Chains A and B, each alone.
Chain A
């Protein structure tokens, strides 16, 4: 029993505040934003404290209601949870700060509900990460997803349809996951992850376990939008309101990736995943194809946000590929990329949000002159774009580096080639945009006439978080050594 209440605070505070938000909204609408920031601040603080404690004292076991596992729900926080928790809460805080002007511009009348859903979404995501119980994870998964469906549906013309589409797939994914849990329960009689870790090695030969694993593989793949089960993603993220896609894009899929690592590598014995079954092989293939597909289709897009959606699919491919290598370096790369990609995507989607805020179109062709009116914003885009390409010293390079090392360790030359080719593809993608934004005169496409190309920067409340993220993108790469040796290495199973 932990003496610190943080593990429960981090779930309960946003959950309760979500409902308080509506009450507060009836009283004073203007306070909602402050409440949001306050709550997100608390969660960030808590996750920070949790991570610190985990790193100093080892895993935290927090039992809800005092029930002993395997009957009660237990929150187990090891360095992996702690790390992802911190990523999720920090990014959500930063995005939360920026939400105000975007909400006011796009849907001011629905602000209260937005904030409420926002908190629910965060509750779900944090819950997924923090829980040590498989079923509880399902519940949080659905909380996050439901909030996500609703949030996405706020968006522009195609949003409800995209959201419905997302919901069908999401539900199937979640249900598959639930079935997997059910099969595991049949076999082992336990839902607790720590318990299962102990029980499962004896049960691996059973067909039921195999089927459970298959359900997990597909279910989680749908949730994390792994190719070819990604079909929901581009539409949903394109049509979502900018602040929503800024929140959902970096986090939801990353949390999905976390679940994949947790289930496949932690709950099941790692050798089961890499050696007994060709699961790692399949994952690598899916990831490799996904990377190529994502890059290729991103190239074909004309809409900046949609392009980023496809880039995201490729990025998910990276993480999956890292897991699929089934070795220390690969997994390090995958976990590091969860953080890095979270930052990069937040930064990029926030950029899109910022330019939409100032009335710029999202069409890549129409960005001429952007750097004159919004120099700082576009500079942030350039830097995070470079990170996606994998230009050092930005953080994107380091995850790519570990992934390549993993590929070399696993002797997966094709995968290595795909990783490298995709960074070239990314270069084309981002320099295409940069070129338009900075060297706009060349295009013979119709240039939108902007009579005054005066500086018209995004508001500070967006700009500062954007640059905080950008600085993170630039500088975290240099500290990746510290992060890896102090945190990520603790999360990797000993057998790797």
Chain B
């Protein structure tokens, strides 16, 4: 366990901790909204993961200025993860939207969003 492993790869640690927080919420929280928030945190951690793997020290965002003839790859961070994550964010947002709509439906039906109460109601 070297210090490098902790410091050098801090991005991964952050992503993992975020992910675990999200999981914790999904597993332990009884409230469906909290679960949903957990899910969102979990998804965000993935975005973080992807963005961080595309980054390089000292590089800039991958937008080529007008007139530049030769592109040096090490001056730009990898554009692909960004592109992917743009799409992923869209997906996640829509998931979130659908989820909220579902919660609305659930609330109308059971008048509660606590999972154990709903389960009890259905027994």
Contact = CB atoms under 8 A, between A and B. Distances in A.
Interface of A: 71, 135, 138-139, 142-143, 146, 149-150, 153, 157-158, 160-161, 163-164, 167-168, 171-172, 175, 178-179, 182, 185-186, 191
Interface of A is mostly: helix
B61 interface: no
Interface residues of B, number: 29
What DSSP secondary structure best describes chain B's contact surface?
helix
A167 B102 contact: yes
A202 B52 CA distance: 25
Given A150-B98, A160-B106, A171-B39, A185 B53 contact: yes
Contacts, number: 72
Interface string B91-123: 100110011011101100110000000100010
B105 A175 contact: no
A146 B103 CA distance: 15
B49 A182 contact: yes
Contacts of A172: 26, 39, 42
Contact of B35 (A142, A168, A191): A168
Contacts of A171: 39, 42-43, 95
A163 B102 contact: yes
Interface in B31-52: 32, 35, 39, 42-43, 46, 49-50
A142 B46 contact: no
A135 B46 CA distance: 13
B122 A186 contact: no
A161 B95 CA distance: 15
Interface of B: 26, 32, 35, 39, 42-43, 46, 49-50, 53, 80-81, 84, 87-88, 91, 94-95, 98-99, 101-103, 105-106, 109-110, 118, 122
Contact of B95 (A157, A160, A163, A167): A167
* Most chain A CB atoms below 10 A, which of B32, B35, B102: B102
Contacts of B110: 161
A167 B50 contact: no
Contacts of A158: 122
10 contacts: A142-B95, A153-B102, A160-B105, A167-B95, A167-B99, A168-B39, A171-B39, A171-B95, A182-B50, A182-B81
B106 A161 contact: yes
A482 B59 CA distance: 57
B109 A157 contact: yes
B110 to A, nearest CB: 8
B50 to A, nearest CB: 6
A179 B46 contact: yes
Nearest to B97: A146
Contact of A146 (B26, B49, B94): B94
A179 B81 CA distance: 12
B37 to A, nearest CB: 12
Given A146-B94, A146-B95, A179-B46, A139 B106 contact: no
**Which of A150, A164, A179: most chain B CB closer than 10 A?**
A164
A484 to B, nearest CB: 37
Contacts of B105: 153, 160
Contact of B102 (A142, A157, A164): A164
B91 A139 contact: yes
A114 to B, nearest CB: 15
A66 B35 CA distance: 42
Contacts of A149: 98-99, 102
Given A163-B102, A164-B32, A185-B53, 5 more contacts: A71-B80, A135-B87, A142-B91, A149-B98, A161-B118
B102 A160 contact: yes
Looking at B46, B88, B94, B98, the one whose CB has the most chain A CB atoms below 10 A away is: B98
Contacts of A157: 109
Contact of B43 (A163, A175, A191): A175
Contacts of B42: 171-172, 175
